[in-house]
Amino acid sequence: MNTETYRFKVGTFKCLVVIDGTHAYPYVPAWFINAPKERLEQVLREHNLDPEQYVSPYPSLVINTGQHRVLVDTGAGSMEPTTGRLIPNLQAEGISPEDIETVILTHGHPDHIGGNNDSEGKPAFPNARYVMWKDEWDFWTSSPSLAELELDEHLKQLLLTSAQNNLLPVQGQLDLVDHETAIVPGIRAVTAPGHTPGHMAIAIASNGEELLYLSDVVLHPIHLERPDWYAVFDFAPEQTVTTRRRLLQQAATEKALVHAFHFPFPGLGRVIQKGDAWQWQPV
C-alpha cells in the first residue's frame, strides 16, 4: 500500500486520503487519562501498543464531487521535521493548491490547521473559502487561557501560537457555520463538540453511500471499545464522551464508512456494535 495517499469512492464522489506526515506521541496513556491504570496496561498490551510511543499519521481528505473539490484539514505544516508533505503529495496526485475550492477545518489544533498558509504566511489554497464552526473560531481567536486542559505551559503556548499563526491569515477567505448545514452539495457540517468547543465532524453522502469523517471524536480504536475513556487534550471530557457515543451509534446504525484522523493509515473502516460499546473494522 502507498503510505502517502489512498484513493476510494463514496458513491460518485472521488476521495483521496493524503498524508501530511507523522508525529510520535511520547506518552500513550495521555490519550486515556481517566482509565484505571492496570486495566489500561492490559488493553494497551492487547492492542500491541507501546505505552511510550504511538506514531500517528496526519492525513487530510480530498473530496471531488464532480462539481467541487474540497479539502478537509491541512495537516501540521512545518510543526515537525516529519510533517509538511501535504502539498507535495497533492501535487504528486495532479492536484495543485489552486484547484482546491473549499477547505474545511474541523478544529483549531495544530495538526489540523498547520498547513493553512504558505511560507510567506499567505493562504496556501488561494482560491478556496475556508470553513470552520463559529464557536471554534471564536474560542481560538479570543486568546483563551486553556486552564481547562491539564497540559504544561509549553504545550498550551504551542496551541495558542499555532491558532494565531494559522487561523488569522485566512480570515479574509473564511466562512463560519453555526448549525448543521450543507457546505457544498453532499458534504455536511455535523456538530461534534467536546474535544474542542467547536469541533466539527463531516457527513459525506453520494448515490446512497455515506462517509462520516470523525476527525478527533476518537483518537484510537480503543476509544470505540472504551468510549468513556478520554484524552488529556479533550477540552470538555463529558461532552466528548456524549458526542462520541452519539456519532459512533450513528455510524454503526447507518453502516457508514468512517474516517478517523489518528487511526492507522488510511484511517478508514466501519463501526460495529459490540454490547454497549463498539469495535473498529478497518478497510
Query: pLDDT tens digit string along 13-46?
Result: 999 999 999 999 999 999 999 999 999 999 999 9
Q: Is the pLDDT of residue 104 over 70?
A: yes
pLDDT at 94: 97
Provide mean pLDDT across the span 198-224.
98
Which range of residues forms the domain containing residue 209? Answer: 5-282
The partner residues of 229 in beta bridges, in order of sequence, read none
- What residues does 213 pair with on adjacent strands? 202, 259
CB-based contact 216:13 (threshold 8 Å)? no
Q: Tell me what the pLDDT averaged over the chain comes to.
A: 97
Do 14 and 67 touch, CB atoms closer than 8 A? no
In the predicted structure, residue 265 carries a pLDDT above the cut 90: yes
Q: How far, CA to CA in Å, does 150 sit from each of 145, 153, 156?
A: 12, 9, 9
pLDDT for 3 equals 79
- pLDDT tens digits, one per residue of 145-165: 999 999 999 999 999 999 999
* Residue 273 identity (one-letter amino acid): Q
pTM score, whole prediction: 0.97
Pull the grid cell for residue 43: 488493553
Q: Are 230 and 236 in contact (CB under 8 A)?
A: no
Query: Are 200 and 215 spatial neighbours (Cβ–Cβ below 8 Å)?
Result: yes
Backbone angles phi, psi at 18, to 5 degrees: -125, 125
Mean predicted confidence (pLDDT) in 78-100: 97
Q: Could you count the other beta carbons within 10 Å of the beta carbon of residue 48? A: 6
- Indicate the length of the chain as a whole number: 283
How many domains, in total, are found in the chain? Answer: 1
Q: Write out the three cell numbers for 106.
A: 474541523
Mean pLDDT value across residues 70-74: 98
CA dihedral 166, 259, 80, 96 (to 10 degrees): -60
Tell me the backbone φ, ψ of residue 153, rounded to 5 degrees.
Answer: -65, -30
Indicate the pLDDT class of residue 166, thresholds 50, 70 and 90: very high
Peptide bond before 266: cis, by omega within 30 degrees of 0? Answer: yes
CATH number, domain with residue 186: 3.60.15.10
DSSP letter string, 42-89: HHHHHTT--TT-EEEEEEEEEEE-SS-EEEE----GGGSTT---HHHH
Q: Is the pLDDT of residue 1 over 80?
A: no
158, burial (CB in 10 Å: exposed 0-12, middle 13-18, buried 19+): middle
Strand partners, 56: 23
